[in-house]
């Protein structure tokens, strides 16, 4: 997993909590190299899982909520860090429809070792996008938070429905514009 995911997660924790909280988290999560991550480095995604699980225990926020909250935060950070993806896009459905074929393609050019999920996007009717998430890392909660962050970012009300995980682990989201 790319270091940017770790550095953004730890910055979110530092902004939310006072004093030594982030240091205590890193120490007690039992991470190698003292949690010293660089944005362009690559680290085992199990270290991210360890950080999230430990943060959940320390904050008493359930793991799915930690991941969703992080997804919302990360989306806003992506908007700051990668403004080029937002040029000309005015609606969350148009943005979310480009993750697989545009955004993550560019991410892979920047970081050839990125471990990215797969998104299949379908527009079954006007104002609706169905997005199916597939990843060996099973981070559908993170994806849900990113989708929520995306809807909030564009300021156009949409409802997000999440289906149950399929037997292959995929999860379908239905994002619908509220008329
Ligand atoms: C400007 C927008 C975006 C950028 C620059 C971006 C970039 C990235 C990067 C750098 C990673 C880390 C890859 C790795 O750890 O090796 C990642 C992973 C991921 N991205 Fe995106 N992304 C964007 C938008 C989105 C959106 C809107 C979603 C959700 C619908 C999404 C879903 C995910 C998920 C769930 C992962 C975690 C890896 C996994 O599930 O296998 N991304 N993305």
- 78 lies in the same domain as 43: no
Which atom, in ligand 1's list, is nearest to the CA of 96?
27
- 171 lies in the same domain as 109: yes
- 25 lies in the same domain as 101: no
Contact predicate 160/152, CB 8 Å: no
Angle between the 3-16 and 63-81 helix axes, to the nearest 10 degrees?
Answer: 110
Contact predicate 93/113, CB 8 Å: no
- 54 lies in the same domain as 135: no
Question: Which uninterrupted H or E stretch holds 51?
Answer: helix 45-59
- When divided into structural domains, the chain yields a total of 2
> Mean pLDDT across the stretch 138-167?
97
**Tens of pLDDT, residues 39-71:** 889 999 999 999 999 999 999 999 999 999 999
CA-CA distance, 8 to 15, in Å (whole number)? 11
- 126 lies in the same domain as 167: yes
End residue of a domain, out of 11, 33, 61: 61
- 78 lies in the same domain as 54: no
- 50 lies in the same domain as 101: no
How far away, in angstroms, is 41 Cα from ligand 1 center? 16
Question: Global pTM?
Answer: 0.95
pLDDT band at 33 (very low <50, low <70, confident <90, very high): confident
- 147 lies in the same domain as 81: yes
Helices H / strands E in the chain, number of each: 7, 4
- 57 lies in the same domain as 72: no
- Phi, psi (5° rounding) for residue 174? -120, 115
Question: Which candidate, 8, 20, 21, 17, places its Cα nearest to that of 146?
Answer: 8
How far away, in angstroms, is 111 Cα from ligand 1 center? 12
Ligand 1 pocket by Cβ (under 6 Å)? 1-2, 4-5, 78, 82, 85, 96, 99, 103-104, 107, 114-117, 135, 137, 139, 142-143, 146-147, 150
CATH number at residue 130: 3.90.1520.10
- 101 lies in the same domain as 126: yes
**Tens of pLDDT, residues 72-114:** 999 999 999 999 999 989 999 999 999 999 999 999 999 999 9
- Range of the structural domain that residue 22 is part of: 3-61
CA-CA distance, 85 to 96, in Å (whole number)? 11
How far away, in angstroms, is 124 Cα from ligand 1 center? 24
Which atom, in ligand 1's list, is nearest to the CA of 85?
1
Which neighbouring-strand residues pair with 104? none
- 55 lies in the same domain as 72: no
CA torsion through residues 33, 38, 42, 48, sign: positive
- 49 lies in the same domain as 124: no
């Amino acid at each position: 997993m790319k270091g940017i995911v770790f550095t953004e997660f730890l910055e979110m924790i530092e902004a939310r909590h006072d004093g030594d909280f982030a240091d205590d988290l890193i120490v007690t999560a039992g991470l190698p190299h003292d949690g010293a991550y660089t944005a362009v480095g690559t680290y085992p995604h199990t270290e991210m899982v360890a950080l999230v699980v430990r943060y959940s225990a320390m904050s008493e926020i359930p793991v799915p909520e930690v991941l969703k909250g992080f997804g919302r935060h990360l989306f806003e950070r992506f908007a700051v860090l990668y403004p080029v993806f937002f040029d000309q896009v005015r609606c969350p459905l148009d943005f979310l429809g480009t993750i697989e074929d545009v955004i993550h393609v560019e991410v892979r050019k920047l970081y050839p070792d990125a471990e990215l999920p797969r998104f299949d996007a379908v527009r079954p009717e006007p104002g609706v996008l169905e997005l199916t998430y597939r990843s060996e890392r099973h981070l559908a909660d993170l994806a849900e938070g990113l989708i929520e962050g995306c809807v909030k970012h564009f300021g156009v009300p949409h409802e997000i429905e999440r289906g149950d995980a399929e037997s292959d682990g995929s999860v379908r989201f239905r994002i619908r514009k509220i008329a």
